[in-house]
Amino acid sequence: VIYPPHSKLTDKEKTNICYLSFPDSNSGCLGDTQFCFRFRRSPGRKVSLRCFLDQLDRDLPVYLKKDSAYYYGYVYFRQVRDKSLKRGYFQKSLVLISKLPYVHLFRTMLKQIAPEYFEKSEAFLEAVCSDVDRWPPPVPGKVLQLPIMGVIMKLRIPTYRDKPGTTPIVQNMHQADAQISMALPTVHEVDLFRCFCPVFFHIQMLWELVLLGEPLVVMAPSPAESSETVLALVSCISPLKYCSDFRPYFTIHDSEFKEYTTRTQAPPSVILGVTNPFFAKTLQHWPHIIRIGDIKLPGEVPKQVKVKKLKNLKTLDSKPGVYTSYKPYLNKDEEIVKQLQKGVQQKRPTEAQSVILRRYFLELTESFIIPLERYVASLMPLQKCISPWKSPPQLRQFSQDDFMKTLEKAGPQLTSGLKGDWIGLYRHFLKSPNFDGWFRSRQKEMTQKLEALHLEALCNENLVFWSQKHTEVETVDLVLKLKNKLLQADREHLPVKTDTLKKLQTHINDIILALPDDLQDILLKTGT
């Protein structure tokens, strides 16, 4: 069943969704299980709502921007014994498909609706859809109230202006009416500490592997554990965006199975979450494998665990741990391990442990990225180089050697006490998809800034006076160029003040009005 009924999915998408919506038979998930998956959209599909969501996308932090090539599937699966059924079990999944990576929001929503849906069937979904139709647009930075079957979820989607690592609290206001409301502390975060608990001693090495876009497999007993762990890994380099593909739950039926498990080429830069024992064999040539047992919160901290050799990983029932021959570039930070161990001994709540861990990852990532930010900012031409009568100047080229030279005086040592081979880590990072994605988005921002400064420089000129001293042909050429500038500012959402655009429009109108009537008619008619 698909709701709303007019939703279009290709056959390939339907097949992928069907296989990904159920745990592998060996997982033996009795009762209710929630997990999430991510799959490729079929190419050539029309995208609806593009302009509307793009506008909202601009205000999101980079790691929450939607990737139009992928969908997320959020699953609530129920398996209970039922003698009246032929198979002896009731097995059903309710799946919510979205382009938005708001794991916690959709998980909470499914928790509200799935149990009732299993008892009331299809008519209930219609009621759910009519609730969702009343939701306001997902505007970042606003406190949103989303009604869902008698409950109001209150939440705030982060914006790129939020200080990284802070989460403005959504207060649970007293409802005057009878509706129950629940405030969501986050829309997208997973319980970091719970996910990293089984591989507690290797968090810093895992951070390096994710940062460098290395191929990683998470082998877990169920999709709930595999999907949470993959999402935790992807989020550990925030506020950097993880730019490669990642699959919180991946099965042998996946349309990319052959592409990702082939031995004819090196494993791709992806993070896969798997539960099928078959993968222990198919993926044993992968360089980094994380084996996770059942995620239980420890009464005591796991004993110090060595990184295991890959050749020891033969089956899926190999012991939990990290199997790799990777040598980390940075020395181990003993401080964070002690801090979290102390938290376990003092029975500190897992939410508090997650906050400590998240702050640790954030500070590590920021120490790493600040020198790059500083160097890239220096590639921007000076404002005095911007002339209204010339094209905007180009950004200077990124030079790896020049960047490395800046590290001696302005490297990560300014903000991080960690010793180790930072230079080696940077060299490796500069070859990774994460650097490529980060640098491209910086380049785009800076080029747009130059275009905006160029527009402002044009606005501050007396363009009418200029046109009086030039031929009609040159003036018409200027008018067309200025009109194109306005269109570009609108199309690319350039960071220009509205006043500047109005001023430029006034300039255009004034120049046109100073021209002969026949030219005026033509120029006023041409929108572009």
> pLDDT tens-digit profile of 313-333?
555 456 788 989 999 999 999
User: What pLDDT was estimated at residue 14?
Assistant: 92
| Tokens, residue 191 | 């319980």
| Tokens, residue 370 | 């600040």
* Local confidence band at 204 (pLDDT 50, 70, 90 cut-offs): very high
Among residues 302, 268, 303, the alpha carbon closest in space to that of 288 is found at 268
- 20 plus 127 within the same structural domain: yes
Of the residues 320, 337, 357, the one at which a domain ends: 357
In a domain, 170, yes or no: no
pLDDT tens profile 381-429: 887 888 888 888 889 999 999 999 999 888 888 888 889 999 999 999 9
- 512 plus 413 within the same structural domain: no
Task: Pick from 46-50, 213-217, 320-324, 391-395 the range whose average pLDDT is largest.
Answer: 213-217
User: What pLDDT was estimated at residue 212?
Assistant: 97
Of the residues 357, 386, 420, the one at which a domain ends: 357
Residue 333 · residue 372 · CB < 8 Å: no
In a domain, 171, yes or no: no
User: What pLDDT was estimated at residue 138?
Assistant: 92
Q: How many domains does the chain have?
A: 4
In a domain, 1, yes or no: no
- 228 plus 280 within the same structural domain: yes
pLDDT tens profile 54-103: 778 888 888 898 888 999 999 999 998 888 888 888 889 999 999 999 99
- 203 plus 311 within the same structural domain: yes
* Local confidence band at 163 (pLDDT 50, 70, 90 cut-offs): confident
Among residues 76, 69, 79, 115, the alpha carbon closest in space to that of 96 is found at 76
- 196 plus 308 within the same structural domain: yes
Higher pLDDT, 320 or 288: 288
Q: Does the pLDDT of residue 454 top 60, yes or no? A: yes
Provide DSSP, 103-162: HHHHHHHHHHHHHHHHHH-HHHHHHHHHHHTTPPP--TTSEEEEEETTEEEEEE---TTS
In a domain, 153, yes or no: no
- 329 plus 201 within the same structural domain: yes
Look up the pTM and report it.
0.89
| Three-state DSSP string of 166-209 | CCCCCCCCCCCCCCEEEECCCCCCCCHHHHHHHHHHHHHHHHHH
- 383 plus 509 within the same structural domain: no
What is the edge-to-edge ordering of all strands in the sheet holding 89-98?
Answer: 31-40, 70-81, 89-98
- 117 plus 260 within the same structural domain: no
- Which residues form the domain of 401? 364-435
In a domain, 142, yes or no: no
In a domain, 249, yes or no: yes
Residue 25's contacts (CB-CB under 8 Å, 6 or more residues apart) are: none
In a domain, 443, yes or no: no
- 252 plus 398 within the same structural domain: no
- 112 plus 207 within the same structural domain: no
Of the residues 327, 357, 387, the one at which a domain ends: 357
Beta-bridge partners for 412: none
Q: What is the mean pLDDT of the chain?
A: 86
pLDDT tens profile 221-248: 999 999 999 999 999 999 999 999 999 9
CATH code, domain with 268: 3.40.50
In a domain, 276, yes or no: yes
- 425 plus 466 within the same structural domain: no
- 339 plus 244 within the same structural domain: yes
Rounded to 5 degrees, what are φ and ψ at 387? -115, 135
